[in-house]
């Protein structure tokens, strides 16, 4: 299997970024760099703008101001051809897996290959089975999404996100709504991907603190529309900032925020946009 090239730095840099909807600013003054070849976790309470930031990283929405640079290229300054080329280097796991109900698991997983015209059906099937095997769903290739559990759907979504061997993998709440054992299994999968493809930049959006501790190299914490913290996991845990201490406190429980699945409908729309674009 092709791996990410070791020479290019596939980091994601935000500079004075302001994002929102219409007039409504969701996040402002975001300046940070998600390091190449690491697992970064974007953390914050429900509704703070995590999925919004993700939408912008994958180019589905334009920032109100500021820039997003990916591997040194200004995402919104690219020609549409270069933009598409860059976007092909990104795999996305949407919040609920965002599988299309009328297609089998294997067909869903193979969707990102559909823009590579001329691939034989056999090759497409083989590639789908290859990634389904990585997420331990090979036996479910010909099932339909409604026949899978929530955790299996997320794993199928992950298989679809990695089928093009992306340099950047973005995951929106890969463990939300999963029981602790299934959540741990999802994290183990991300860690094993990270071990197999050390140059891949992985960004996970989460409010699952157990997951954070298991997978994060680097962390961004969003609060009140601003970047509250950016740094490695050790400095996050060592911080004496009262909000972070509260956020990370064991007494507060292991998960924060409510499990808003309200994004699901929106990510499904986003997914449709994504494949149409
Ligand atoms: N398509 C949209 N149009 C208008 N406002 C939106 C849209 N999507 C999100 N918002 C608003 O943007 C803000 C941030 O939402 P977002 O979904 O990014 O938060 P989140 O941190 O991902 O939340 P959660 O943890 O619940 O998934 C919220 O106030 C939300 O209502
Ligand atoms: Mg969200």
| Ligand 1 pocket check for 20: Cβ under 6 Å | no
63-74: pLDDT as tens digits: 999 999 999 999
Cα 61 to middle of ligand 2, angstroms: 15
Nearest-atom index, ligand 1, CA of 262: 26
* Total tally of structural domains belonging to the chain: 1
| Ligand 1 pocket check for 192: Cβ under 6 Å | no
- Nearest CA residue ID for atom 24, ligand 1: 46
Cα 262 to middle of ligand 2, angstroms: 8
241-260: pLDDT as tens digits: 888 887 777 434 444 333 33
12-44: pLDDT as tens digits: 999 999 999 999 999 999 999 999 999 999 998
Give the integer Cα–Cα distance in Å for 136 and 156: 9
In this prediction, residue 254 carries a pLDDT of 41
Residue 170 lies in a domain: yes
**Geometric angle at alpha carbon 44, from 12 and 60, rounded to 5°:** 45
In this prediction, residue 119 carries a pLDDT of 82
In this prediction, residue 37 carries a pLDDT of 95
Mean pLDDT of 48-66: 94
Cα 219 to middle of ligand 1, angstroms: 20
86-99: pLDDT as tens digits: 998 999 998 877 89
Residue 155 lies in a domain: no
Residue 69 lies in a domain: yes
Domain that holds residue 70: 12-99+166-276
| Ligand 1 pocket check for 266: Cβ under 6 Å | yes
Return mean pLDDT, the chain: 86
Question: Which residues, in sequence order, are CB contacts of 196 under 8 Å at separation 6+?
Answer: 3
- Nearest CA residue ID for atom 20, ligand 1: 47
Sheet containing 226-232: which strands, arranged edge to edge? 90-93, 168-172, 201-206, 39-43, 218-223, 226-232
Contact yes or no for 94/268 (Cβ under 8 A): yes
193-234: pLDDT as tens digits: 999 999 999 999 988 888 899 999 999 999 999 999 999 999
Residue 94 lies in a domain: yes
Single out the residue of 81, 66, 79 nearest to residue 28, CA to CA: 66
- Nearest CA residue ID for atom 7, ligand 1: 21
| Ligand 1 pocket check for 48: Cβ under 6 Å | yes
Mean pLDDT of 108-127: 86
Nearest-atom index, ligand 1, CA of 258: 26
Q: Which residue has the higher pLDDT, 125 or 120?
A: 125
pLDDT band at 8 (very low <50, low <70, confident <90, very high): low
Residue 247 lies in a domain: yes
pLDDT band at 267 (very low <50, low <70, confident <90, very high): very low
> To the nearest whole percent, how much of the chain has pLDDT over 70?
86
Residue 105 lies in a domain: no
Which CATH number do you get for residue 242?
Answer: 3.40.50.300
Substitution candidate for ligand 1 out of 20, 44, 50, 94 with most atoms within 8 A of CB:
50
| Ligand 1 pocket check for 255: Cβ under 6 Å | no
Residue 254 lies in a domain: yes
Residue 63 lies in a domain: yes
In this prediction, residue 7 carries a pLDDT of 54
> To the nearest whole percent, how much of the chain has pLDDT over 90?
65
| Ligand 1 pocket check for 51: Cβ under 6 Å | yes
Q: Reply yes or no on whether the pLDDT at 128 is more than 50.
A: yes
């Amino acid at each position: 299997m092709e791996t990410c090239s070791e020479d290019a730095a596939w980091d994601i840099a935000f500079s004075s970024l302001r994002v929102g909807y219409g007039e409504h600013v969701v996040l402002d003054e975001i300046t940070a760099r998600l390091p190449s070849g690491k697992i970064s976790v974007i953390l914050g309470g429900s509704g703070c703008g995590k999925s919004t930031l993700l939408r912008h990283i994958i180019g589905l929405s334009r920032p109100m101001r500021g820039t997003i640079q990916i591997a040194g290229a200004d995402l919104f300054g690219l020609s549409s051809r270069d933009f598409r080329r860059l976007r092909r280097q990104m795999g996305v796991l949407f919040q609920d897996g965002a599988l299309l109900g009328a297609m089998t698991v294997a067909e869903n997983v193979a969707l990102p290959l559909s823009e590579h015209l001329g691939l034989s059906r056999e090759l497409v099937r083989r590639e789908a089975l290859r990634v389904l095997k990585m997420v331990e769903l090979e036996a479910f290739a010909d099932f339909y999404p409604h026949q899978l559990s929530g955790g299996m759907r997320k794993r199928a979504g992950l298989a679809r996100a990695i089928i093009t061997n992306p340099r950047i993998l973005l995951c929106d709440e890969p463990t939300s709504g999963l029981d602790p054992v299934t959540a741990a299994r999802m994290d183990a999968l991300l860690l094993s991907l990270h071990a197999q493809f050390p140059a891949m930049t992985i960004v996970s959006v989460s409010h699952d603190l157990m997951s954070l501790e298991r997978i994060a190299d680097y962390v961004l914490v969003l609060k009140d529309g601003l970047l509250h913290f950016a740094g490695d996991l050790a400095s996050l845990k060592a911080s004496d900032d009262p909000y972070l201490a509260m956020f990370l406190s064991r007494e507060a429980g292991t998960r924060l925020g409510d499990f808003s699945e309200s994004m699901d409908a929106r990510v499904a729309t986003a997914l449709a946009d994504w494949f149409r674009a």
